């Protein structure tokens, strides 16, 4: 299945619940690329500048990453694609890869939210890099305990943002800036929305209002996915 939506729509927040329900792995091209950047691999070196500015990484890189990953044993019963495909060329490549084994995309979950709600979500996000856990600087339910313990209204900074479980420092993503977000949103509308147009005629797209609380969003995804992905 494909999980799609603009930056900050909640793909990373909702994916673990889908993984739990369907017991198939989540393949996030964003996470894979960030790991490559952190490890300074050849792919990481090529991807870094595009990612920092909010541009898309080249199709050959991401298609290569996904085509290798889906051959691994844990993907044999299906998988959740988070952040891929992001344009029509990637969509066609995916359909082609799956068709070689008589497979196809069974379900597309589209998280939908107005652009103007996303700057707060993205620019307030802090991450625990080793686990991928995501926190927020101003939304109470997602605030780390370390900031909640400070007087109300304390501004988030590196002295008060720590992971709830390990106590390790939280960091902000280099592309979580208003300028990069603007580019990411432009790319989403011009290149990623056509992916939905491609799958819509197959009757497999579920449209989810992603502007409510995380539990309100999950309450729509849960019945929509059923057992479609397996
Ligand atoms: P990627 O990592 O895929 O980023 P993205 O699509 O921009 O999405 P995000 O991870 O920013 O948002 P999310 O929807 O997961 O939101 P989250 O749940 O964290 O891609 C990054 C870059 O990699 C791209 O720009 C590109 O350069 C490159 N790339 C990746 N894939 C590629 C591809 N296929 N082709 C080419 N290039 C590619 O939520 C955000 C915040 O909001 C969190 O703090 C969270 O706690 C909070 N939040 C979430 N939901 C709610 C809610 N319902 N209520 C309140 N707060 C909420």
Mean pLDDT to the nearest integer, 99-126: 95
The stretches of 3-105 forming alpha helices (DSSP H) are 11-22, 29-38, 42-53, 59-69, 88-99
Contact 12, 28 (CB under 8 A): yes
| Residue 11 annotated as catalytic | yes
Chain segment 55-75, per-residue pLDDT in tens? 999 999 999 999 999 999 999
Mean pLDDT to the nearest integer, 191-219: 96
Residue for token digits 């495909």?
Answer: 85
Provide, for the chain, the percentages of residues in helix, strand and coil under a 3-state DSSP scheme, each rounded to the nearest 5. Answer: 50, 15, 40
Does ligand 1 have an atom closer than 6 angstroms to the CB of 125?
A: yes
Residue for token digits 């926190």?
Answer: 135
pLDDT class of 131 with cuts at 50, 70, 90: confident
Mean pLDDT to the nearest integer, 103-113: 97
| Residue 125 annotated as catalytic | yes
Q: Are strands 133-136 and 125-128 parallel, antiparallel or unpaired?
A: antiparallel
The pLDDT value given to residue 140:
87
- Residue 151, both tokens: 């007087």
Q: Which of 99, 131, 90 is nearest to 2 (CA)?
A: 90
125 CA → ligand 1 middle, Å: 10
**Apex CA 70: angle with CA 131 and CA 14, to 5°?**
40
135 CA → ligand 1 middle, Å: 13
Q: How far is CA 85 from CA 14, 48, 93, 171, in A?
A: 18, 19, 9, 27
Chain segment 14-50, per-residue pLDDT in tens? 999 999 999 999 999 999 999 999 999 999 999 999 9
What is the pTM (predicted TM-score) of this model? 0.92
């Amino acid at each position: 299945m494909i999980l799609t939506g603009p930056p900050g729509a909640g793909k990373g927040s909702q994916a673990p619940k889908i993984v739990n329900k369907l017991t198939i792995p989540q393949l996030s091209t964003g996470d894979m690329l960030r790991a490559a950047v952190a490890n300074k691999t050849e792919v990481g070196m090529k991807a870094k500048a595009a990612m920092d500015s909010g541009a898309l990484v080249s199709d050959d890189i991401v298609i290569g990453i996904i085509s290798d990953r889906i051959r691994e044993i844990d993907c044999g019963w299906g998988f959740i694609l988070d952040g891929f495909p992001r344009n029509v060329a990637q969509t066609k490549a995916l359909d082609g890869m799956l068709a070689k084994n008589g497979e196809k995309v069974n379900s597309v979950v589209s998280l939908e939210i107005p652009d103007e709600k996303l700057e707060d979500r993205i620019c307030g996000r802090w991450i625990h890099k080793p686990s991928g856990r995501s926190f927020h600087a101003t939304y109470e339910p997602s605030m780390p305990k370390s900031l909640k313990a400070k007087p109300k209204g304390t501004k988030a900074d590196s002295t008060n943002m720590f992971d709830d479980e390990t106590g390790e420092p939280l960091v902000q993503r280099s592309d979580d800036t208003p300028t990069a977000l603007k580019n990411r949103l432009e790319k989403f509308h011009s290149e990623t929305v056509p992916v939905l147009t491609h799958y819509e005629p197959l009757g497999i797209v579920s449209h989810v209002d992603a502007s409510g609380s995380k539990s309100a969003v999950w309450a729509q995804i849960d019945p929509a996915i059923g057992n479609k992905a397996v």
